[in-house]
């Protein structure tokens, strides 16, 4: 409960996480490591502690250990959640092929269990990752899956799935450019899945530079989106004046 409060709940309550909170959480996890060295629960909280400090590579290693501890239980929901978690970390590290694979493995669990919610979202994310990594042909089955699910009868699709339906419909039947896929990915990372704030400093800078690359013949709307997303990254980097200029 203390770890949950220090690492998660304070953020949702609008309270800042202090150095004392980090120290307290680290001490609790050290205590747990000595007494419960193979605990998936405490390893998960170690993962989250790394995440809020943007230590994504360490977080990714932790979640791999969590998965290894729980693998023998063969719990599909847990498998899906952890694969999705790993995919999010790959996104934060700009490792597009790994992210695509993680999303596809996560959604495969739901498909096998005939669960529909979030399959469109994960398919959409996987498709965008495939395009950004230069694998357009492998993106197509993901977008086709989104179209297929959009025709299913279900009254309570999550908002993320509704967004996937709208975006893929807007793509139409033509090829989606790598630039368009990148802009769509940054948008959903900023507005829905909140990956940008966990991204390490080096990757934030790389992504901002990629967004600001000149694109011959780029439409004004896409250029404006790239500047807006760059402004948000600058804000997260603490570069307030640059953020204002870009905005």
Q: What is the pLDDT of residues 104-114, one digit of tens each?
A: 999 999 999 89
> Euclidean distance between the first and final Cα of the chain, in Å?
40
Mean pLDDT of 53-74: 92
Q: How much is the pLDDT for 13?
A: 78
**What's the pLDDT score for residue 172?**
87
User: Which are the contacts of 199, defined by CB distance < 8 A and separation ≥ 6?
Assistant: 54, 56, 92, 93, 207, 236
Whole-angstrom CA distances from 190 to 91, 168, 225 are 12, 18, 12
pLDDT at res. 31: 94
Asked if 185 contacts 90 with a C-beta cutoff of 8 angstroms, the reply is no
CA–CA dist 130, 151 (Å, integer)? 24
Q: Please give the pLDDT value at position 153.
A: 87
Reported confidence tier of residue 81, pLDDT bands at 50, 70, 90: very high
Reply yes or no on whether the pLDDT at 128 is more than 90.
Answer: yes
pLDDT for position 7: 86
> Which residues does 52 contact at the CB level (< 8 Å), separation at least 6?
7, 11, 17, 198
The mean pLDDT value of the chain amounts to: 93
Residue 12 has a pLDDT of 72
Confidence of residue 37 (pLDDT cuts 50, 70, 90): confident
Average pLDDT over residues 40-53: 92
**Model confidence at 14: pLDDT above 80:** no
Contact 56/50 with Cβ under 8 angstroms?
yes
Mean pLDDT of the 195-222 span: 93
């Amino acid at each position: 409960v203390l770890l949950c409060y220090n690492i998660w709940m304070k953020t949702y309550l609008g309270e800042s996480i202090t150095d004392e909170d980090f120290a307290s959480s680290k001490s609790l996890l050290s205590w747990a490591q000595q007494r419960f060295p193979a605990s998936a629960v405490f390893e998960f909280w170690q993962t989250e502690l790394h995440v809020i400090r943007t230590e994504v590579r360490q977080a990714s290693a932790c979640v791999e250990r969590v998965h290894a501890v729980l693998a023998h239980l063969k719990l599909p929901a847990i498998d899906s959640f952890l694969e999705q978690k790993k995919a999010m970390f790959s996104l934060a590290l700009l490792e597009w092929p790994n992210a695509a694979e993680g999303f596809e493995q996560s959604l495969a669990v739901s498909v096998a269990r005939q669960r529909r919610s979030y399959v469109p979202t994960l398919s959409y994310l996987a498709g965008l990752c495939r395009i950004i990594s230069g694998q357009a042909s492998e993106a197509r089955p993901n977008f086709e899956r989104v179209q297929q699910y959009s025709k299913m009868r279900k009254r309570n699709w999550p908002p993320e799935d509704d967004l996937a339906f709208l975006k893929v419909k807007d793509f139409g039947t033509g090829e989606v450019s790598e630039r368009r896929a990148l802009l769509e990915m940054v948008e959903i990372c900023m507005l829905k899945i909140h990956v940008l704030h966990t991204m390490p400093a080096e990757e934030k800078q790389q992504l901002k530079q990629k967004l600001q690359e000149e694109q011959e013949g780029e439409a004004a709307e896409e250029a404006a989106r790239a500047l807006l997303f760059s402004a948000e990254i600058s804000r997260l980097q603490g570069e307030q004046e640059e953020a204002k200029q870009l905005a």
